[in-house]
Amino acid sequence: MEHLQPGQRRRRSDAAWVIAAAALVAVGAGCAAGQWRSQRADDPLTRSELSSRNVSISDASHDPALYTAFARALASEGFTVVAHPPYHDDLEVTLSVANRADGTVAIGTLRSDGFFIDEVQAPLDGTAPAALARTLAVSQGMADFVRNSGTPQQRNLTGQ
């Protein structure tokens, strides 16, 4: 065991503090505030592929007209919209509205079994439901989900 004189500190603990501080700075930089940007797929899903998964809508907007228009827009893009909570491996879109500095936006957050897939937004006007549905239909996140049979996290849970 190492004997220290009063006022003397271990160099090892100083180094550990420096490493810990550097790690926290790196994590903080990686988590810097930013906005998710959905990406258009190079090879978007076909209508047949879109219809292969059930999609339920969770209405956090509390706007029945927006909800109805969004459900219709999803169906017109080829999604299979269902009126029940999502089952295992099904999709769920949470529809919400947010006030931003540049105006009010409608937001569609796509998840499966709680795992994030994609998020899209559009200015809250008469075209918002169709814009959200169209952007989700052609998104890379949606294409990856369908063509890879779920998210990587879901596959890890089931051992696939």
Domain ranges of the chain: 47-158
Residue 148's pLDDT is: 87
User: Residues for the chain: how many in total?
Assistant: 160
7-11, 57-61, 143-147: which has the minimum mean pLDDT?
A: 7-11
Q: Considering the domain 47-158 in this protein, what is its CATH number?
A: 3.30.160
Q: Considering only CA atoms, which of 131, 124, 114 is closest in space to residue 38?
A: 131
Residue 18's pLDDT is: 57
Q: What is the pTM of this model?
A: 0.74
Higher-confidence residue: 102 or 19?
Answer: 102
Q: Which pLDDT band holds residue 32 (cuts at 50, 70, 90)?
A: very low
Find the mean pLDDT for residues 45-57: 95
Residue 29's pLDDT is: 47
